[in-house]
Amino acid sequence: MRIDKFLADNSIGTRKEIKAIIKAGRILVNDKQVSDPGMHIDPEKDEVICDGSVITYERFHYYMLNKPAGVVSSTREGASVTVVELLSDEGVKNLSPIGRLDKDTVGLLLLTDDGALLHDLISPSKHVGKEYLVVPEHSLTDDDLKKLEEGVDIGDDKPTIPAKAHMEEDGLHLIIYEGRFHQVKRMLEAVGNKVTYLKRLKMGELSLDPDLGEGEYRKLTLEELELIKN
Per CB under 6 A, residues contacting ligand URA are: 101-102, 105, 182-185, 198
Shortest reach from residue 182's CB to ligand URA, in Å? 4
Residue 51: active-site member: no
Residue 167's nearest CA partner among 139, 192, 190, 191 is 139
The number of beta carbons lying within 10 Å of the beta carbon of residue 48 is 21
Shortest reach from residue 183's CB to ligand URA, in Å? 4
Name the residue nearer to ligand URA (CB basis): 134 or 145. Answer: 134
Catalytic residue among 4, 9, 42, 102: 102
- What is residue 186's three-state secondary structure? helix
Give the C-alpha separation, 25 to 23, whole Å. Answer: 5
Residue 46's nearest CA partner among 78, 12, 3 is 3
Q: Name every residue whose Cβ is closer than 8 Å to that of residue 135 and which is 6 or more positions away in sequence.
A: 170, 171, 172, 195, 196, 197, 198
* Residues noted as catalytic: 102
